[in-house]
Structure 1
Amino acid sequence: MPFLYGCAFTSEDLDVLSGVLNAWCAERHIDIRSVEAQFAASTALDLYQSGHHEHDKLLSALNGRTGL
């Protein structure tokens, strides 16, 4: 995963990311271990790294992504 090389996440970062992924999966009744959830997690990481650091903003950005 080259985009994560040299990138460190704090426990707060991980809390936001996992909270958003859990909320996204719950809204869609998707198993968090599914391929769809893995794709959403990857997208959430990209969005987080591009500046969506707050739970609500990240979830909104993730919900706005087409194809998820």
Structure 2
Amino acid sequence: MSLLVNASFSSQDFDVLCSALDAWCAERHIDIVSVEAQSAASTALDLYQAGCDSREKLLHALRDHRAA
């Protein structure tokens, strides 16, 4: 689970995260409000904080991580 203590996200950060997560869910035909999507969102936050700070990087890393 993500540790968001003292984390601050701009609207641009939020847009990158949402865009990558939306694309990932659409590729897999997963409802954005499902438990699987919630888990992927947590993973996306972790990956974003680890340096995957563009939609493309984040989506690629999310695909790799969730495929494992």
Which runs of no fewer than 5 residues in structure 2 stay unpaired?
A: none
Q: Does 1:33 align with 2:33?
A: yes
The TM-score normalised by the length of structure 2 is 0.93
The TM-score normalised by the length of structure 1 is 0.93
Which runs of no fewer than 5 residues in structure 1 stay unpaired?
A: none
The one-letter code matched in structure 2 to 1:26 is: A
Q: Aligned with 1:27: secondary structure? A: helix
Task: Name the residue aligned to 2:7.
Answer: 7
Task: Name the residue aligned to 1:23.
Answer: 23
Displacement of 1:2 in angstroms is: 7.3
Tell me the matched-pair count: 68
Q: Aligned with 1:4: secondary structure? A: coil
The one-letter code matched in structure 1 to 2:38 is: Q
Give the root-mean-square deviation of aligned CA atoms: 1.7
The one-letter code matched in structure 2 to 1:8 is: S
Where relative contact order (Cα < 8 A, 6+ residues apart) is larger, the structure is: 2
